C-alpha cells in the first residue's frame, strides 16, 4: 500500500508537550482534523502545562535516527514539519535525516521560545537551523521574534516584515511565511513570500492568553494540506482562514496559556454556515401556543417563514407537552419547512432534540445546559443564550465567543412565559447592548407597535411568540417586527 491510494500521511518532528496544548500534540490533533494521519519523531520532551515549562529533556540523537528509520520504513510520508528541536545537535540530526530520506515537502516552524518565555532552541541551534535545515525546507513559518533572529534585524513595520522575509529567503528556503501577531496595532497581518510572489493575509487579533500552540497548529495545518496534495499557496490561505475561525474559541482548560480547540471547524459546510447568518427576526413557537392545532401550527410557521422570519425556534413548555418522540417528529417537520424556505431552525433548551432533528442551533437559558458542554457535544450548532442582567452577562463573559447571539429580555411584561424575570425595559436593553460583543436579540412583549423603539434602543433583532401567533395579518406583523422597517 505504498501507492497514491494510501491515506495521506505526514510526519511531525517535534517536542512533546505534557500539557497537550502545543508541540507534537497540537500537530497530531491538527493533522487528524485535516484528515491526515500523523507519524512522529519525538526530538525531546517538555514537562509543561498552561502555566509554563517546568523541564526540557532532549532525546538522544540515536533515538531520533531510530524513529526516522521506523517511520520511513513503513509509511509514505507526503509532507513533514519540524517544531521544537532544542539544540544544534538535534537540529543537525534532523537535517541529516531529512537529507537521507529525501524529504522534499518540509515545513520548518522555527520554534525558539515557548509562550511562557522558556528557550526551546539555543544560539548554536539557531545557527545550525540557518545553515543546515532551512536550505532543505520548502517553507519556514517564523513569528516576529524568530524572524528577527533569522534575518538579523529588528522588525517593527509591514515593510520590515517584507524585508525580513527576503533576507530569510537568502538562507536557501524558497518560501517564507512571517506571522505578524507580535507586532503592535489593531490588525494582525501575516506576510507570505512564495518564490517571487508575495501577499499579506489578515489574521484575527484576540485579547486572550488562551492560544497556546498557535504556531504549531498553523504549520501543521499547512503540512497536512501539502500531504493532501494541495498547493502551498492554497494551503497557506486555508490554514490562515482556519486559524481565524478557531483562535477566539479556545478550550477553557488550565489556569494559564490554555490550548486551542483544533476540532472546532468540523467540515467545510461549517465554514459556510458560520458566516453572515441573520438571526434578526425570530418566531418562537410550540404546539401549546396554537392550542395544539397541528394544521394551524405548520401553516402558520410556513407562512411566517415566507413572510420573512429568519429563525424559527421550536419551544414546548406546557404541562401537557408532547413526549420526546413526538417533539422529534414535529421538529423534523419544522426543519423541513425551514430548509425549503431557507430559514434557520433552532430548538429551545433541548440539545438532544437539536442534534436528533438536525437543527441549526439551540437556545439555552442561564440554568439550562451549559454553553461549554454544548460546544463539546455538538460544535456544529449555533448557540443562543438568554441574558437579562449585567450580572448574568458578566457570568457568561467567557461563553461569548461561542455564541451566535444573546437573547435579552424580557424587555416588556409578557404573559406568555410563566416564569419570566422582571421586565428590563428599553434602558436595560440599551445597557446590555453596550456591553455585548455578539448580536442582541430582544425578547418579551415585543409587538408591531413597540418594535421600532426596541431597535432604537440598540437591538439587532427581535424574537416573539404572541405577536406573531395571534397576528391577524402575519405579513404586516413580520414586516413591522423586522429591522427593515427602519429604512
Ligand X SMILES: Cc1ncc(COP(=O)(O)OP(=O)(O)O)c(N)n1
- Residues binding ligand 3NM (CB under 6 A): 284, 386, 388, 407, 409-410, 414, 416-417, 420, 443-446, 464-467
CB of 118 within 8 A of CB of 52? yes
Assess 352 for contact with Mg ion (CB under 5 A). no
Cβ neighbours around 256 below 10 Å, total: 15
Q: How far is the CB of 224 from ligand X (least distance, A)?
A: 38
The secondary structure element, H or E, covering residue 302 is: helix 294-307
Q: How far is the CB of 414 from ligand X (least distance, A)?
A: 11
Tell whether 76 is in a known binding site.
Answer: no
Q: How far is the CB of 413 from Mg ion (least distance, A)?
A: 19
Tell whether 373 is in a known binding site.
Answer: no
Tell whether 465 is in a known binding site.
Answer: yes
Q: How far is the CB of 346 from ligand X (least distance, A)?
A: 8
If the CB atoms of residues 90 and 315 are measured against ligand 3NM, the closer one turns out to be 315
If the CB atoms of residues 219 and 388 are measured against ligand X, the closer one turns out to be 388
If the CB atoms of residues 132 and 288 are measured against ligand X, the closer one turns out to be 288
Per CB under 6 A, residues contacting ligand X are 282, 284, 313, 315, 317, 348-349, 363-365, 368, 384, 386, 407, 417, 441, 443, 463
332, 335, 339, 344: CA torsion to nearest 10:
-160
Cβ-Cβ contacts under 8 Å for 264 (sequence gap 6 or more): 245, 246, 249, 375, 379
Cβ neighbours around 159 below 10 Å, total: 9
The secondary structure element, H or E, covering residue 193 is: strand 188-194
If the CB atoms of residues 349 and 448 are measured against ligand X, the closer one turns out to be 349
Tell whether 248 is in a known binding site.
Answer: no
Report d(CA 160, CA 185) in Å as an integer: 15
Cβ-Cβ contacts under 8 Å for 37 (sequence gap 6 or more): 7, 8, 9, 10, 31, 75
Query: Which one of 11-19, 54-62, 342-350, 390-398 is the stretch in contact with Mg ion (CB under 5 A)?
Result: 342-350
Q: Which does 466 bind (CB under 5 to 8 A by kind): ligand 3NM, ligand X, Mg ion, none?
A: ligand 3NM
In b/e form, how buried is each residue of 179-199, taking b as 16+ CB within 10 angstroms? bbbebeeeebbbbbbbeeeee
Helix (H, G, I), strand (E, B) or coil at 178: strand
Tell whether 219 is in a known binding site.
Answer: no
Assess 368 for contact with Mg ion (CB under 5 A). yes
How far is C-alpha 116 from the chain's CA centre?
A: 23
β-pairing verdict for 79-82 and 52-58? unpaired
If the CB atoms of residues 212 and 363 are measured against ligand X, the closer one turns out to be 363
Work out which of 116, 365, 379, 425 binds Mg ion, going by CB under 5 A.
Answer: 365
Tell whether 313 is in a known binding site.
Answer: yes
- The angle, 0 to 180 degrees and rounded to 10, between the axes of the packed helices 214-227 and 232-246 is 140
Residue nearest Mg ion by beta-carbon distance: 365
Q: Which does 445 bind (CB under 5 to 8 A by kind): ligand X, Mg ion, ligand 3NM, none?
A: ligand 3NM
Report d(CA 27, CA 145) in Å as an integer: 21
Query: Which one of 45-53, 220-228, 257-265, 364-372 is the stretch in contact with Mg ion (CB under 5 A)?
Result: 364-372
Query: Which one of 29-37, 69-77, 268-276, 344-352 is the stretch in contact with Mg ion (CB under 5 A)?
Result: 344-352
Residues belonging to the binding site are: 313-317, 348-349, 368, 386, 414-417, 445, 465-466
Q: Which residues bind Mg ion (CB under 5 A)?
A: 349, 365, 368
Amino acid at each position: 500500500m505504498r501507492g497514491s491510494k494510501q491515506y495521506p500521511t505526514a510526519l511531525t518532528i517535534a517536542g512533546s508537550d505534557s500539557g497537550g496544548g502545543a508541540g507534537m500534540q497540537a500537530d497530531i490533533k491538527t493533522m487528524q482534523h485535516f484528515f491526515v494521519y500523523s507519524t512522529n519523531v519525538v526530538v525531546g520532551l517538555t514537562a509543561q502545562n498552561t502555566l509554563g515549562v517546568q523541564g526540557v529533556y532532549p532525546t538522544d540523537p540515536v533515538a531520533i535516527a531510530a524513529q526516522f528509520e521506523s517511520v520511513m520504513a513503513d509509511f509514505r510520508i507526503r509532507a513533514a514539519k519540524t517544531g521544537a528541536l532544542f539544540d544544534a545537535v538535534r537540529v543537525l540530526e534532523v537535517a541529516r535525516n531529512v537529507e537521507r530520506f529525501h524529504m522534499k515537502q518540509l515545513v520548518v516552524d522555527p520554534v525558539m521560545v515557548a509562550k511562557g518565555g522558556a528557550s526551546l532552541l539555543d544560539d548554536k541551534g539557531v545557527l545550525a537551523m540557518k545553515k543546515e535545515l532551512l536550505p532543505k525546507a520548502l517553507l519556514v513559518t517564523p513569528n516576529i521574534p524568530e524572524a528577527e533572529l533569522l534575518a538579523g534585524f529588528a522588525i517593527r513595520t509591514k515593510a520590515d516584515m517584507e524585508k525580513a522575509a527576503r533576507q530569510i529567503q537568502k538562507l536557501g528556503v524558497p518560501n517564507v511565511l512571517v506571522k505578524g501577531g507580535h507586532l503592535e496595532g489593531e490588525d494582525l497581518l501575516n506576510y507570505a513570500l512564495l518564490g517571487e510572489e508575495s501577499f499579506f493575509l489578515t489574521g484575527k487579533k484576540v485579547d486572550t492568553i488562551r492560544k497556546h500552540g498557535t504556531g504549531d497548529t498553523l504549520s501543521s495545518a499547512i503540512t497536512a494540506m501539502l500531504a493532501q496534495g494541495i498547493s502551498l499557496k492554497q494551503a497557506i490561505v486555508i490554514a490562515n482562514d482556519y486559524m481565524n475561525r478557531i483562535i477566539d474559541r479556545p478550550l477553557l482548560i488550565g489556569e494559564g496559556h490554555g490550548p486551542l480547540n483544533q476540532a472546532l471547524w468540523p467540515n467545510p459546510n461549517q465554514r459556510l454556515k458560520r458566516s453572515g447568518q441573520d438571526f434578526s427576526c425570530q418566531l418562537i413557537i410550540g404546539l401549546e401556543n396554537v392550542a395544539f392545532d397541528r394544521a394551524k401550527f405548520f401553516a402558520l410557521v410556513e407562512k411566517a417563514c415566507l413572510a420573512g422570519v429568519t429563525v424559527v425556534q421550536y419551544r414546548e413548555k406546557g404541562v401537557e407537552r408532547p413526549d420526546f418522540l413526538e417533539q422529534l417528529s414535529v421538529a423534523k417537520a419544522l426543519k423541513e419547512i425551514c430548509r425549503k424556505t431557507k430559514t434557520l431552525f433552532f430548538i429551545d433548551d433541548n440539545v438532544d432534540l437539536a442534534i436528533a432533528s438536525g437543527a441549526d442551533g439551540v437556545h439555552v437559558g442561564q440554568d439550562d445546559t451549559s454553553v461549554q458542554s454544548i460546544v463539546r457535544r455538538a460544535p456544529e450548532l449555533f448557540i443562543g443564550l438568554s441574558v437579562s442582567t449585567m450580572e448574568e452577562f458578566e457570568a457568561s463573559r467567557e461563553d461569548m465567543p461561542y455564541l451566535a447571539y444573546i437573547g435579552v429580555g424580557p424587555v416588556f411584561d409578557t404573559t406568555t412565559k410563566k416564569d419570566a424575570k422582571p421586565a428590563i425595559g428599553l434602558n436595560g436593553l440599551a445597557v446590555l447592548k453596550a456591553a455585548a460583543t455578539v448580536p442582541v436579540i430582544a425578547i418579551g412583549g415585543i409587538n408591531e407597535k413597540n418594535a421600532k423603539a426596541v431597535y432604537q434602543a440598540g437591538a439587532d433583532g427581535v424574537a416573539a411568540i404572541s405577536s406573531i401567533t395571534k397576528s391577524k395579518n402575519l405579513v404586516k406583523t413580520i414586516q413591522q417586527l423586522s429591522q427593515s422597517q427602519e429604512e
